Amino acid sequence: MKLTGFLAFALLSISILSYGVGGTAFATSDPNPALPISSDTEIYSNGASVTVSGTIKDYDSSAGKGLTFLVISPDNNIVQIGQLLVNEINSDGSFTKSFIAGGSYWKLNGDYTIKFQFGADKSSITVNYVGGEQVVSKPPPPVDDTPEPEPTPEPEPTPEPEPTPEPEPTCGAGTTLVNGICQVVKTEEPKGGGCLIATAAYGTELAPQVQFLREIRDNTVMSTASGISFMTGFNQLYYSFSPTIADMERENPMFQEVVRAFITPMVSTLSIMTLAENGSEVEVLGLGISVIALNLGMYIAAPALVGFKVHKHFKSRK
């Protein structure tokens, strides 16, 4: 009976956490001299580029720690989360992070708080998002009523022969022509940021497992209203522990292997979500509940049953 009650309590707790966490998990912090940050401007419209710069005091790149950031909306929901790795931070500790204001998460107009955390040091800054469409207009030139004198006709110059333009080089796939030179196209950062724990576990965000998680999140889960609500609540819980675990993985290769072995079966079960039609509330919700139930059985019910059998076996031998 005790084991049955424990399993029921565990299933109920995880189900509640899976459907979102109310309120905000973070309080606005005062500016930190150890992690000063600033933005290029204070007001942004829809589609504008937000650029935040800062410096990590007494930065030591050999520590292997990443700089975590998140953006919180006026209603205290996390709209974006990510991490700058060691190779994205300058040797003197300075850094710059840019992202686009707008999208499915930027629904409300008002003050958005951008928070950065490096180890125990935290700092935040607030910017104002006005939404709408980005319009750039110029004032009309002043009208001059003074009549201009008629210009004296000049003899027409003899036209010079136009030089024959040189053929432009043909760029291959993944490159584009810039100033006559083929350059590699820089892909935009995926919306919503990456999975910090999985990225640290597999060593790079270009790993197939990390790309698969990102595709399931952006193309399937986020295609429905219930999926967006779930990810909003899940990000609140996930951010509370994921930066610490990701730093531990980079500092301890053995722990990295353990985490990789632990999350690989869960990544495999998420392949069930590919059966859902994008935008279908019923299919995404039904298959999502199936994936949650499968992981509960695999990570909680099965180990608990094995432990119960072993305990019963040793108890019967006494």
Please classify residue 304 by burial: count the beta carbons closer than 10 Å to its beta carbon, then call 0-12 exposed, 13-18 middle and 19+ buried. middle
| Per-residue pLDDT tens digits for 267-286 | 887 778 777 777 788 887 87
Q: How far out from the chain centre does Cα 150 lie?
A: 63
Rg (CA), the chain: 27
pLDDT at 25: 33
Q: Are 80 and 193 in contact (CB under 8 A)?
A: yes
> Percent of the chain scored above 70 by pLDDT?
75
pLDDT interval class at 187 (50, 70, 90): very low
Q: Looking at residue 300, what is its pLDDT?
A: 84
pLDDT (mean) for 70-88: 84
Q: Extract the tokens encoding 1.
A: 């009976």
Burial 237-263 (b: 16+ CB within 10 A, else e): ebbeebbeebbebbeeeeebeebbeeb
Model confidence pLDDT, tens digit, residues 234-261 = 777 877 778 888 888 888 889 888 888 8
More confident of the two residues 238 and 75 = 75
